[in-house]
Amino acid sequence: RETFAQELLQQRITIKADEQSVKAVLTKIEKLTSVKFLYSPSLIKSERKVNLNAVNEPLSKVLESLLSPLQVSYEVAGKQVILKQEPLPQPVEKKASVSHEPFAIEQPITGIITDAKGEILAGVSVLVKGTNRGTSTNGEGKYSLVAQPSETLVFSFVGYIKKEIVVGNQTEINLVLNEDTQTLGEVVVTALGIKRDKRALGYSIQEINGESLAQAKEANVATSLAGKIAGVQVTRAGNGAGGSSRVVIRGANSLVGNSQPLYVIDGIPMDNSNVNSPSRWGGIDYGDGISNINPEDIESMSVLKGPNAAALYGQRGSNGVILITTKSGKSRKGVGIKYGIDYSVGDALVLPDFQDEYGQGLDGTFTHFRGNDGKIYTWAAAKAANIQGIPKMSGGRDRFTRASWGAKMEGQQYEDQWGNVLSLTPQPNTFQTFFNKERQMANNISLEGGNDNVNYRLSFGNTKIDGYTPGNTLNRNNISLRTIAKLTPKLDLDVKANYIGQRGNNRPTVSDAADNPAYLWISQPRSIPMSILENSTWTAEDVSKQLGYGTTPFIGLEKTYATNSSTANPYWTRDHTRNSDDRQRLIGLIKLSYQFNDWIRLTAKTGTDFYTDQRLRYREKGTYQSQNRNGDIIEEVTRVREDNSDVLLSLTPELSKDFSLSLNLGANHQKFYARTTGNTGTEFIAPNLYSINNTLINSYVFNLSESSINSVYAAGSVGFRDYLFVDFSARNDWSSTLSPANNSFFYPAVSGSLVVTDALNLQNSTLSFLKVRASWAQAGSSGSPYQLTGNYALDQTPHGGQPLGSFTSIIPDPNLKNELTTSLELGLEARFFKNRLGLTFAYYDASTKNQILNIPLPPSSTFTSRRINAGEIRNHGIELSLTGTPVRTETGFSWDATFNFSRNRNQVVELAEGVSTFLLGDDRNVQVIATPGKPFGTIIGNGFQWLRDDKGNRLIDPTTGLPLKTNAKLLYEIGSALPNWIGGFNNTFRYKGFSLSGLMDVSQGGKIFSQSLREELVFGTIKKTLPGRDGSYVADGVVAQKNADGTWTSTGQTNTKQVRAQDYWNVIAPDKDNVVSEEMLNDASYIMFRELTFNYQLPSKIISKTPFRNIRAGVYGRNLFYLQRKTDGYAPEASSFNVNNSSLGLESTSLPLLRYFGFSLNLEL
Amino acid sequence: TIDPGLILSKAQKDAAFSEGYEYPNNQFGSWIQHWAGGVLISSSRYIQQTDDNLWNDHYALIRNISQIRTQLLKGRENDPKARTKLAIARIVEISIWQRLTDLFGDVPFSETALGVDAVNNQPKFDTQDAIYKKLIQDLDAALSQITPTDDSYGAADYYFKGNLTQWKKYGNSLKLRLGMRIRYADAALAQKTVTEAMGQPLLESNTDNAAVPTFNDATNANVHPVLNHWLAGSPDLKYLAAPLVAQLVNSKDPRLARLVQPTVNSVKAGTPAYKGIGVALTDELLKTIIKDDYSTASQTTFFNKAYSPAIACLAMSYSDVCFYKAEAALENWGATPDQAEKFYQDGVRAALAQNPYNITTVPADFQKELSFTGLSKDEKLEKIGTQKWIQLFGRSYEAFIEWRRMGYPALKAGPNLGSTNGQIPRRAIYSSRETLLNKTNYDEAVKRLANGNSYTSKVWWDKK
């Protein structure tokens, strides 16, 4: 605190005042600096007129010259400067200056004052009530004074709750002062990095400090936003160490691509793209941009929700903006060293609910038999002919051979498909055996320091992850150097360089692809020992004794039990395939600002984010999925660069004593460039040499994208008497991605807020603060480059030396315009009971029109889609946050609780002329659409449907006892992918140095279509398929009767006929392409105990005996458990396999969500 | 823009290759009992589902090939540098349209493929009747536009390397096919069309075959689709159907060993034998199958990457034309009934001579298959149908189309009832994407189908 006070007082300001009120001068100083004055106007006679003329003088000096003639003294607490009418008493340490009141029974009293965290508080004023005797605590938090037993001591400190203690016979009074957080003027970072008092804002912005992100660490910092901010939905697919997260603020605005916010770091937008993200047919998630950022470098994150807060970012702000402010140095004596270590271990939280009773086979028994004559028979044939021998398992692709509908596992001898003689026993813990515990270690060290003119912060962070999937590792180094210097009294320089070096290895493949490691295990026969598969190549013995594999196995081939395109052997994938990626990234910033006088400031800055991402992937010869089993390789390099340059003129002219004005005028130039080059090669020639030129066939990979946007903008704020504020902003963008006729767009925004309690003087003991606000804004997007013209492409491989050409499948539109989002927001902020309870409420209604859409066309149009400006999507909803301090005791115990709730309604108002349905995504047996009149993300089953009576009962075939389904597959609506509401509930308990904090993350409503469930049901691998395997399964429904015309009607009787579970489930899922769609649907609702952290800060008494300034240790858990979950064997958060809208509501054999436990230790020298 | 030759190459290659891959072989090929798809391709067991890829891919083919007339060479009908190229592109396009409507029935036709500036978001479905009339007209126009002195496509033209005489022959043969296809639905138009075509030069030998060469030493994209089926597909989907194997065995067909692989177990036992799997088996029957007791396609020819010379992928063969001529002769359309047997024999000989059979001398014990002696007209048609059926192995769409038209060979449906109550499907199912995105027109077209958008509805010309 001392350091901070020093820094605060040493900042230089230029100010001139002629016959102005003290109050006006103070307000002026507040504007020039980040300080805030606290004073009682009557006490210091703030209307008094003063003269002042200071040019680039330290604040301390300015204050002195302003205040000393008024006989006003001040003290600094945080950013607050508290003004008092009398001079501070002399420190009492000098015994000589002890009060000389003529009373005999005075006694000396000493003590230490700390805050709830155990940190010492310096500068706490200690007054003897009713007198002007007093002192303040020193740098160690100690005080000492003399008082009579009957007197009362008043301890007060800005930002803390005042305490009064009767002296009595005590000689030592140690106290804990509790923070009174609500009274502090909350300063938040707004668009363009402008710090504003939150009370002046007319739109909603929520800030989260770096500390809460750095606790319970997630490798991808965006993921840790889950549940913390109203209206922000965060999901992270099971995508391996360092994967992407999907952040959607206030619902999806766009039908295409993703609805991810813009990330801006220290004023410089970052490229958050995830190049070549996975699709429904597999792929690897190499992580997005935000996953590269070190959480430890983050000072704070501001979430600008939607256009109202983010209008100044023009077209890029339409999905909201997340502003990240990184840490900078502080001027101090010597070098401040901070070190932190964080270690966590993660393991699967939800696993498929495997059954461990029945083994491979069908109809409750084996499928094949090896006679003693060595010949193989079907089970039935062997039994019929009474052949002697041993049961034999078969390979194969369908449920007739490799399902787990077989015999009860009771140790029977059998020969497996490769000829090993084994006993039929349960093989539990498939996932646990194959996968690892994920281990994550983060080490961070930072050095900081500086003086009046220069400060710096240098940090180094290393994150190492040994992933859940064996062989998957991530090693990330972040080096950040930031220095802020005063070049001349008027010229400031801010320079930052952030280097990120990240290397990933063997990231897992996700979704519907053979080498997704989760894919095989979910359908694997429950009796195959993992050790059999671990020897992952075919041997001569295997080849000679195998049954059912087909005709191609050869020695050295990847050994799988089925020839399904989706069943690679994960052990082979682990041992004989490799992928690696190396990302070198530099994010840099240079900012110069010049203070012309006390109200004009010019800032120029330029920043860049550029990176090279080098990826290599190969699969050895013998890999089943590679062309002709001969392996393949791909190597590619992507270079991405985004440059942003800005100039900003800030004006804060003095208007009058009632009006304040600030005005910002700026211009921006943004340039984006991405280029991918590489090669693919198939079929290795020589074994064990993994280079492109050792392949039979190779071809190129090439991709290029360039664009730029020029902008000018203006933003201003008018304040009236510090309770009424009107903000306005306007921006014009010129984008290179549209034609010159259409490439200019204007985005205005206006907002207002009124602090009702101040304006109407309503403050009372119940209502402490009330603010109402409203805002209106427009923002938009100009889409991606190269969308105006159609183009021809050549096939990857020519045929007989002749290149093969084709025309784009998207109809281009040269007259495209920009998209436009118009958003209205109304809000309310209130605090009650002396700020013990706070409430924030927002209603918003945003509508995005003229979307640049690839409107899907029926194939018969010969094109897949038409690119046009079309449609209107409306997102409207409410957000509610409650913060409160239910308990706060004298002893230093406090309980803070925060609850947030948001409900978004996403409506497709219209698409395009003649287009009624937009296809968002599809997968086996399912399509996800957007269509007017239905919510965004309506799930359409593309499979069989139950026949039901008019009461909704399933019709049961009286002969078979099985439910009846439609004759053929059909399209029918089965649910909606989006939740009804999401929320978070956070509780923090503090006592002295201890703090315990728990976060609950809630999402209610919405459905997920699960592809895992389909596999598990087809192959009978989960517990759900156990009941009734003996033939006692009774399907829910009513007995039906067949009419003459072949249709069925209900007889009204409840079905009681017993069937085999196998027959029942095979009606639902006979194979992967013919399921009863509605049965694959799970409710996505969950209540997750997301985070629990327990921290302990060593008390100052102990710290003071060590060389450290601060020691904090903690333990935490993330993704602890569900209080509610309705999914079958997978995490509801895994409801998408990439960050795009196209995978909404689709679970595709996802990797499990991990539960982490960790500890952290932070030291400060 | 781009050289239109690149577009033509792709259309020729993709259209020809598309009917020989794993999926069409196991769906349509199972229906006409060349292949035995089994449980993995459930449509092979008559379980109805939408034919999304088939539909989408054909319209994509049309999108590409039509770019030549709507953009690349647009309006240059009188320019010798473009005129004949336009005609050739149109002929290729017509062949794709024909296949599309033959598989589905009514399809959007007149309101689509009008160029990128005139795309109709929701084209209505034309009746097959109307489509055929227009295709025949357009083909006539294209044929008359081919001018010997004009520029042609040269090497980009896989079929004929720019040889315009051959293009004329192919165009006339296509006309013969169009006419013959509708013979049971519109006999008058069929007769007129066939008779006209018979009067023009047609494909005359296997060297006139419209075919795309394949390359075994390159990537799997360049190999014959049936070889691709073997290399890239699933081992469970490589088995042949019992009726095809039985036909070859029973008739002592010399193609047997070059088309069918002896079963693994019979080879192990030292008594190589050929056996196909029944099609559309029930679950109960599937359980009795041990795959090693059954034959795949031959691993010395079709299923052999080392086979040389690589098998060309046929779009239309001289043999096809011979069989049409035989049928026409039987009707006295442009030839007399006594010429039918000769045409038929030419067809069989041409089929035997095709790679990979390369049989130029008809073995004595197969001679009887070449004779029409003592047969009724229907029996003759059955012979034609049966030989055509064998000849069309690897061309699963065309085989399915011709089988439905002729009704020969007589095939018995497999035992699984599926969605058709045990009937062999008669058409493909409109794409689900079309259903969602062109609903009004789709609904209207479905109303015209006797059993709705189902396997059991028949297309207009399917009257036999």
Could you tell me if A814 lies within 8 Å of chain B, comparing CB atoms?
no
Residue B121 has its nearest CB partner, among A362, A797, A861, at A861
Could you tell me if A740 lies within 8 Å of chain B, comparing CB atoms?
no
- C-alpha–C-alpha distance, residues A770 and A435, integer Å: 54
DSSP letters for A232-299 = EEEE--S--TT---EEEESS---SSS--PPEEEETTEE-----TT--BTTB-B----SGGGS-GGGEE
Q: A1031: which DSSP letter? A: T
Q: pLDDT at residue A576 above 70?
A: yes
CB under 8 Å, gap of 24 or more: what pairs does A757-765 form? A758/A721, A758/A722, A758/A723, A759/A721, A759/A723, A759/A724, A765/A833, A765/A834
In percent, the amount of chain A with pLDDT more than 70 equals 92
Reported ipTM: 0.93
Could you tell me if A916 lies within 8 Å of chain B, comparing CB atoms?
yes
Q: pLDDT at residue A95 above 50?
A: no
pLDDT at A159: 65
Residue for token digits 């002896």?
A: B262
Q: Tell me whether residue B412 is exposed, middle or buried, using C-beta atoms within 10 angstroms of its C-beta: 0 to 12, 13 to 18, 19 or more.
A: exposed
> Considering only CB atoms, which chain B residues are within 8 Å of A814?
none
Could you tell me if B419 lies within 8 Å of chain A, comparing CB atoms?
yes
Could you tell me if B39 lies within 8 Å of chain A, comparing CB atoms?
yes
Closest CA to A520 of A481, A572, A578, A464: A572
Q: How many C-beta atoms surround the C-beta of residue B154 within 10 A?
A: 10
Question: Alpha carbon of A855 to those of A263, A319, A790, A930, B58: distances in Å?
Answer: 28, 20, 15, 11, 20
Residue B318 and residue B159 in contact, taking contact as beta carbons nearer than 8 Å: no
Query: Which helix (H) or strand (E) segment is A43 a member of?
Result: helix A41-44
Q: CA of A921: which chain B residue's CA is closest? A: B433
pLDDT at B151: 96
Closest CA to A406 of A353, A367, A355, A354: A367
Q: A1089-1114 pLDDT, tens per residue?
A: 988 999 998 887 788 788 888 898 99
- What is the arithmetic mean of pLDDT over A129-136? 77
Question: Which of A73-77, A534-538, A699-703 is predicted least confidently?
Answer: A73-77
User: Across the interface, do B437 and A915 touch by the CB < 8 Å criterion?
Assistant: yes
Distance from CA of A1011 to the nearest CA of B (A): 17
Could you tell me if B440 lies within 8 Å of chain A, comparing CB atoms?
no
Residue B432 has its nearest CB partner, among A811, A860, A942, at A942
pLDDT at A185: 53
Residue A353 and residue A309 in contact, taking contact as beta carbons nearer than 8 Å: no
Q: A470-482 pLDDT, tens per residue?
A: 999 999 999 999 9
Q: pLDDT at residue A787 above 90?
A: no
Sheet with strand A421-423: strands edge to edge: A376-378, A368-371, A389-392, A413-415, A421-423
Closest CA to A1147 of A1156, A1129, A1132, A1135: A1135
Kindly report the pTM of this predicted structure.
0.84
Name the pairing type of β-strands A955-956 and A1038-1042.
Answer: parallel
Residue B66 and residue B90 in contact, taking contact as beta carbons nearer than 8 Å: no
Residues contacting residue B376 through CB under 8 Å, at least 6 positions apart: none
pLDDT at B348: 98
Q: pLDDT at residue A390 above 90?
A: yes
Could you tell me if B246 lies within 8 Å of chain A, comparing CB atoms?
no
Q: A313-367 pLDDT, tens per residue?
A: 777 777 888 888 888 887 677 788 999 999 999 999 999 999 999 999 999 999 9
- Cis peptide preceding A352, ω within 30 of 0: no
Which residue of B10, B104, B160, B227 is the best one to mutate when testing the A interface, meaning the one whose CB has the most A CBs within 10 A? Answer: B10
> Considering only CB atoms, which chain A residues are within 8 Å of B219?
627, 682, 697, 797
Name the pairing type of β-strands A107-115 and A175-177.
Answer: parallel
pLDDT at A934: 84
Query: Which helix (H) or strand (E) segment is B188 a member of?
Result: helix B187-198
Closest CA to B448 of B126, B97, B146, B228: B126
pLDDT at A85: 61
Q: Indicate the pLDDT class of residue A84, thresholds 50, 70 and 90.
A: low
Q: A1115-1162 pLDDT, tens per residue?
A: 999 899 999 999 999 998 876 665 565 667 888 888 888 899 999 999
pLDDT at A99: 44
Q: pLDDT at residue A396 above 90?
A: no
pLDDT at A182: 45
Residue A969 has its nearest CB partner, among B9, B50, B222, at B50
Residue A797 has its nearest CB partner, among B7, B125, B221, at B221
Distance from CA of B214 to the nearest CA of A (A): 8
> With left for phi above 0 and alpha for psi between -120 and 50, is residue A525 left, alpha or beta?
beta
Q: What is the block-wise mean pLDDT of chain B (464 residues), using blocks of 10 residues?
A: 93 97 96 92 93 96 96 95 97 98 98 91 96 98 96 96 97 98 97 98 97 91 95 89 97 97 94 96 90 94 95 98 98 96 98 97 95 96 98 98 97 95 96 90 96 96 93
> Considering only CB atoms, which chain A residues are within 8 Å of B67?
807
Higher pLDDT, A973 or A189: A973
In percent, the amount of chain A with pLDDT more than 90 equals 42
Question: Alpha carbon of A107 to those of A101, A103, A151, B267: distances in Å?
Answer: 12, 10, 11, 112
> Considering only CB atoms, which chain B residues are within 8 Å of A548?
290-291
User: Across the interface, do A795 and B123 touch by the CB < 8 Å criterion?
Assistant: no
Averaged confidence pLDDT in chain A: 85
Q: pLDDT at residue A732 above 50?
A: yes
Residues contacting residue B295 through CB under 8 Å, at least 6 positions apart: B239, B240, B245, B260, B261, B262, B263, B274, B275, B276
pLDDT at A564: 64
- Which B residues 173-232 touch A at CB under 8 Å? 212-213, 215, 218-222, 231-232
Residue A610 phi, psi dihedral angles, 5° rounding = -135, 145
User: Across the interface, do B39 and A548 touch by the CB < 8 Å criterion?
Assistant: no
Could you tell me if A1070 lies within 8 Å of chain B, comparing CB atoms?
yes
Cα-Cα-Cα-Cα dihedral of A909, A912, A914, A915, to 10°?
-70
Q: CA of B123: which chain A residue's CA is closest? A: A861
pLDDT at B40: 86
Residue B287 has its nearest CB partner, among A378, A397, A565, at A378
Residues in chain B: 464
Q: pLDDT at residue A568 above 70?
A: yes
- C-alpha–C-alpha distance, residues A287 and A615, integer Å: 12
Residue B438 has its nearest CB partner, among A790, A858, A971, at A858
> Considering only CB atoms, which chain A residues are within 8 Å of B66?
862
CB contacts < 8 A, A to B, total 218
Question: Which 3 state secondary structure label does DSSP give A169?
Answer: coil
pLDDT at A98: 42
Question: Which of A69-73, A180-184, A773-777 is predicted least confidently?
Answer: A180-184
Burial per residue of A330-340, b for 16 or more beta-carbon CB atoms within 10 angstroms, e otherwise: bbbeeebebeb
Highest mean pLDDT among A232-246, A677-691, A1015-1029: A1015-1029
Q: pLDDT at residue A78 above 70?
A: no
Could you tell me if A942 lies within 8 Å of chain B, comparing CB atoms?
yes
pLDDT at A101: 44
Question: Which of A80-89, A401-410, A451-460, A998-1007 is predicted least confidently?
Answer: A80-89
DSSP letters for B19-51 = GGSHHHHHHHHHHTTSB--GGGSGGGGT-----
Q: pLDDT at residue A442 above 80?
A: yes
Q: Indicate the pLDDT class of residue A50, thresholds 50, 70 and 90.
A: confident
Residue B297 phi, psi dihedral angles, 5° rounding = -65, 160
> Considering only CB atoms, which chain A residues are within 8 Å of B455?
968
Which residues partner with A805 through β-bridges? A794
Q: CA of B101: which chain A residue's CA is closest? A: A860
Question: Which of A534-543, A737-746, A1059-1068, B131-140 is predicted least confidently?
Answer: A737-746
Question: Which of A612-621, A948-957, A1146-1155 is predicted least confidently?
Answer: A1146-1155
User: Across the interface, do B288 and A380 touch by the CB < 8 Å criterion?
Assistant: yes
pLDDT at A96: 39
Residue A861 has its nearest CB partner, among B55, B123, B283, at B123
pLDDT at A90: 41
Which residues partner with A81 through β-bridges? A37, A76
Which residue of B49, B61, B282, B292 is the best one to mutate when testing the A interface, meaning the one whose CB has the most A CBs within 10 A? Answer: B49
